[in-house]
Structure 1
Amino acid sequence: MKLHIFITRHRLPAFFTMAFALSWLAWLPYVLSDNGLGVVHFRFPQLLGTPQLLGVLPGAYLGPILSAFIVTAVAEGRPGLRRWTGRLLRWRVKWWWYAATLLGVPVALTLASLPFAHGFAVPGASVLVAYLPALVLQMITTGLAEEPGWRDFALPHLQPRFGALRGTLILGPLWGFWHLPLFLTEWGGWPDVHWYSVVEFVVAATALSVVMTWVFNRSGESLPVAMVLHTSVNNYMSVAWLEVFPGIDPHSSSRILLIASTVAAVVLIAVTRGRLGYRPRAAEPVERVLTA
């Protein structure tokens, strides 16, 4: 079977296989370096204060976004690419979507952190000044690398076939497991990482995916809003969290994300009866559902 025929008939398997393979291969030097397992005695240089921009970001860009572009281009051609980029550029939505994601994420994570904290502090001026620029950096790195694949490609192919909730419960664990090699590096706390931290992260990614599906659907499939939600989690935890809770155990971050995301996911599933804001299009092409 020719490759383009296989990709056209099996778009989701092709996308996920390619996304995992490209990212994991690109992350291999980082995993083997002294930033990870220490097999190769080389440390990735720091850029903007972190080695992750050079060690992690290339693999992120080579995985979800490139795989989504290739599969869309092969299977759907220019019309598919226009739909794909259309969602990526759909930033003109009601302002309160951005306000809700920008403010709701810190509030939810702060409330979830309180039972684990030994104190609470008002963040200093340096944190407040750095917060917005750091969020912009997260948007053009993590957000742009991942979400055009997970939410802009995979989710619109999963929902017509499996429904919003079942589609999300497929996507969420795969999104979480995609990060697996990074737990063997400084990114995941190596060498102090435990198996239950990985499990907590995957379950948290699944719960967060439920929230992101609802936001994506209800905002009119606006990828920028979904990206703001995703990157707001990363940004708060990396920039402000330890400043707000100076005595907290840094290893509890996955557990706190798990709690906040699970509570929000359960509420949304109950309120929407599992629909998560998804409204199937009346003219949904049959072949798109069957070949996704």
Structure 2
Amino acid sequence: MNNGRGLVGRYPLTSFFVLAFGLSWLAWTPYVLSENGLGLVPLHFPVIAGSTQLLGVLPGAYLGPILSAFLVTALAYGRPGLRQWLGRFLKWRVSWRWYLSVLLGVPIALALTSIPFSAERHLPTASLLGAYAVGLVFQMITTGLAEEPGWRDFALPHLQPRFGALRGTILLGVLWGCWHLPLFLTEWGGWPEVRPLKVVEFLVSCAAISIVMTWVFNRTKESLPIAMILHTSVNNFMSVAWLAMFPAVRADDSMLILLIAFSAAAIILLVTTRGRLGYRAPATREHELAAV
């Protein structure tokens, strides 16, 4: 136990990524092999809320980033580290302008980018707005809670001091995207019709979204709730509102739309912040964050 704790303490960031990938991929293996994936095992995941992802994907998500971040923080930094980690998670008290900007900015950006891809367009109805609000809450306690305490609350504060805001963010974005790769062999990723180009678009989109999320995270003084809302707003718009507002759009264009919208936002932020993305290196560190 002491040897394991010492190894985690020396290499907390590497330990986190190994655990996050290993635990999630192990938990996703039955889903990948099932009839909802490669079809190698005669197992069908039940449809809940219109999808098999609730039991196929969510357990692995919870076992990955959030659990790995908790375990590594506890082993490497003890109670002071856990308080710091949890403090970012509980940092809700930020300006209302950030909430408004994220809640409105994400769907507006994605809607504007979608316009050229659909000959038929509809404004959101009252019922759609209601479903969107419910979906956002659901996404916060599923995708947001499962992933962001790991990616943005643990990994990003380790990566930025060592690699800088831009390089650290791109590295995180690519790893974040790669974490999803087994799911492309399931219904989640559109298997068996998934194209290699779609996977590439997804990975680049993750890097672009990460650039926007890093800027928001840094400018809100490391508020994880705002980062979670940004992440879940992307998922929620594409799953709840997108096809209702743009019924003539091709489903295959979803990843391209994400790529265009967030690449444009990322380029603007990189130019206006000169690549700093709002990051200010701390004068002192409570822990050694540069260990990998």
TM over 0.5: yes
Distance in 2 (CA, whole Å) between partners of 1:133 and 1:139 is 10
Q: Secondary structure at the match of 1:2?
A: helix
Opposite residue 148 of structure 1, the aligned amino acid is P
Show CA shifts across 1:215-273 (max 9, x none): 00001100000000000000000000001100100111111000001000010011001
Give distance in 2, aligned partners of 1:290 and 1:98. 31
Count of residue pairs brought into register by the alignment? 291
Q: How many Å separate the matches in 2 of 1:125 and 1:28?
A: 40
CA contact (8 A) 2:148 2:228 kept: yes
1-side partners of 2:229 and 2:89: how far apart? 12
Report deviation, 1:35.
1.0
- Which residue of structure 1 lines up, in the alignment, with residue 291 of structure 2? 291
Write the distance in 1 (CA, Å) between the matches of 2:23 and 2:273: 36
Give the distance between the partners of 2:124 and 2:91, measured in 1 at CA: 33
One-letter amino acid matched to 2:5: H
User: What amino acid sits opposite 2:111 in the alignment?
Assistant: T
Q: What CA RMSD, in Å, does the superposition of the two structures yield over aligned residues?
A: 1.1
Distance in 2 (alpha carbons) for counterparts of 1:141 and 1:18: 19
Q: CA deviation digits over 1:148-181, x for unaligned, max 9?
A: 0000000000111111111101100000010001
Provide the residue aligned with 2:251 in structure 1. Answer: 250
Aligned equivalents of 1:188, 1:230: Cα separation in 2: 18
Distance 1:28 1:7 in 2: 26
Structure 1 partner of 2:31:
30
The residue that corresponds to 1:7 in the other structure is 8
Gaps of 5+ in 2: none
Moved over 4 A (4+): none
User: Hey, what's the Cα distance between the residues in 1 that align with 2:16 and 2:147?
Assistant: 13
Unaligned runs of 5+ in 1: none
TM-score (structure 2 length as normaliser) = 0.97
Distance 1:66 1:137, change over 3 A: same
Shift in CA distance, 244/290, structure 1 to aligned 2, threshold 3 Å: closer
Q: How does 1:96-175 map to 2 (within 5 A)?
A: 96-175=97-176
Contact 2:19 2:64 in 1 (8 A): yes
Q: Among all aligned residue pairs of Structure 1 and Structure 2, give the percentage whose two residues are the same amino acid.
A: 64
One-letter identity of the residue aligned with 1:129: G
Higher mean C-alpha displacement, 135-144 vs 111-120: 111-120
In the TM superposition, residue 49 of structure 1 has moved relative to its aligned partner by 2.4
Aligned pairs for 1:1-292 (under 5 A) are 2-285=3-286, 288-292=288-292
Please tell me the residue identity of whatever aligns with 2:134: P
Question: In the aligned structure 2, how far is the partner of 1:242 from the partner of 1:249?
Answer: 9
Partners in 2 of 1:129 and 1:68 — Cα distance?
33
Please, which moves more after superposition, 118-127 or 31-40? 118-127
